[in-house]
Amino acid sequence: MQTVTGQSGTKEDANETESSSDTQEPAQTEEPGGSSQEETQRTGAKALVVFFSATGNTKAVAETLAELEGTDIYEIVPEQPYTDEDLNYNDRTTRATAEQNDPDARPAIQGSITDFEQYEVVYVGYPNWWASIPMPIASFLEEYDFTGKTIIPFCSHGGGRFGQSLTAIAKLAPDAQMGEGLSVHYSGGNSLPDDVAEWLENNGINVSGRQGR
Ligand SMILES: Cc1cc2nc3c(=O)[nH]c(=O)nc-3n(C[C@H](O)[C@H](O)[C@H](O)COP(=O)(O)O)c2cc1C
């Protein structure tokens, strides 16, 4: 895997709902594997793993994925990092929660991706925050042009799986196809590599660099 940085992009708008199930922290929604379109079957498509992770769980999934697929990987880093207090969802006035309650919140993110155009498949990883995407993901999705690309979401969660995040992504990147996603409970535990590999297998994705299994 190769870490990328650089430049490129364009934009769009956001927001919405779905079903609910086992909650953990904030209100939760559960959705099966992912709103998808059968478009996930690709051969030799160049892929990029993009992720945002505040406490490392999504990062571990992203790294496992990029390793297995042999893809480039790019971390979304907010210009203003989230502190522990920012992440305290028990206090609704703290930053992460306040942002989730503001549909227009678009926290600035550092840097940009070089030659984003070259990627046909973009894995987008994030923690479930208040049953949706963290707002830095909204910033990212609006910044780039996803026309003709397939987004394959993956998230780390505390029980709520994807929540409404898939709908949020689809609204922010309406020009993208959506592949079948993977949700992981917190860090995913010891079975993470097997779970990621199984998901890739079931998803029928075969990107350049992948060794095949
Ligand atoms: C502000 C905030 C809101 C959260 N909301 C939810 C939620 O609605 N549902 C859920 O299952 N987990 C929720 N979580 C838990 C995270 O999804 C979980 O801890 C995840 O593993 C964090 O991933 P990370 O280490 O990549 O940041 C929330 C965490 C934070 C900080």
Ligand 1 center from residue 57 Cα (angstroms): 9
Could you give the 3-state DSSP secondary structure of residue 54?
coil
* Euclidean distance between CA atoms 166 and 183, whole angstroms: 11
Ligand 1 center from residue 127 Cα (angstroms): 5
**Residues lower than pLDDT 50 in the chain:** 6-24, 27-42, 207-213
pLDDT at 205 (0 to 100): 62
Burial of 178 (C-beta count, 10 Å sphere; 0-12/13-18/19+): buried
In the block, residue with structure tokens 């790019």 = 74
* Euclidean distance between CA atoms 182 and 61, whole angstroms: 10
pLDDT at 166 (0 to 100): 98
Could you give the 3-state DSSP secondary structure of residue 18?
coil
Ligand 1 center from residue 16 Cα (angstroms): 18
Give residues (CB < 6 A) around ligand 1. Answer: 24-26, 28, 53-59, 87, 89, 96-97, 127-131, 156-160, 163, 186
pLDDT tens column, 113-162? 999 999 999 999 999 999 999 999 999 999 999 999 999 999 999 999 99
CB-CB contact of 170 with 31 (8 Å): no
* Euclidean distance between CA atoms 155 and 59, whole angstroms: 10
Per-domain residue ranges of the chain: 2-207
> For the whole model, what pTM was predicted?
0.83
Please state the CATH superfamily assignment of the domain spanning residues 2-207 in this structure.
Flavodoxin domain (3.40.50.360)
